[in-house]
Amino acid sequence: MSVSTAATDQTVCAPLPVLGRDVTVPLVTGGEVTYAALDYAASAPALQRVWDDVAAYAPYYGSVHRGAGYLSQLSTDLFENARKAVAEFLGCRESDQVIFTRSTTDSLNLLARTLPADCQVFVFETEHHASLLPWQDAQVTYLDAPRTPRQAVETLERALADRTVSIEGGHRPALVCVTGASNVTGELWPVRELAAAAHAHGARIVLDAAQLAPHHPVDIRELGVDWVAFSGHKLYAPFGSGVLAGRADWLRAAEPYLAGGGASRKVTRRTDGGVDVEWHESAARHEAGSPNVIGAYSIASACKALTEAGWDSLVAREQHLVRTVREGLAEVPEVRILSLFGDEAPRVGVISFVVEGWNSSHFAAALSAEYGIGVRDGLFCAHPLVRTLLGSDPQSQGECGAPEAAPGEKSLNAVRVSFGAGTPDEHVERFVTAVKELVAEGAKWTYRTEDGRCVPAV
Instruction: Based on the residue annotation, tell me whether 13 is a catalytic residue of this protein.
Output: no
Q: Is 367 exposed, middle or buried (0-12, 13-18, 19+ CB in 10 A)?
A: buried
- Cβ atoms 8, 424 nearer than 8 A: no
* Among 358, 359, 338, residue whose Cα is nearest residue 347: 338
- Cβ atoms 257, 110 nearer than 8 A: yes
Q: Is 133 exposed, middle or buried (0-12, 13-18, 19+ CB in 10 A)?
A: middle
- Cβ atoms 348, 215 nearer than 8 A: yes
Q: What count of other Cβ atoms lies within 10 Å of the Cβ of residue 114?
A: 21
Cα gap 363→373, rounded to integer Å: 11
In sequence order, what are the residues at sequence separation of 6 or more whose Cβ sits closer than 8 angstroms to the Cβ of residue 98? 83, 86, 87, 90, 92, 243, 244, 245, 283
Question: Active site residue: 303, 381, 400, 454, which one?
Answer: 381
Cα gap 416→406, rounded to integer Å: 19
User: What is the full DSSP assignment across 135-189?
Assistant: TTTSEEEEEPPPSSHHHHHHHHHHHHHTPPBPTTSSBPPEEEEEESB-TTT-BBP
Q: What count of other Cβ atoms lies within 10 Å of the Cβ of residue 434?
A: 19
Give catalytic residue positions.
381
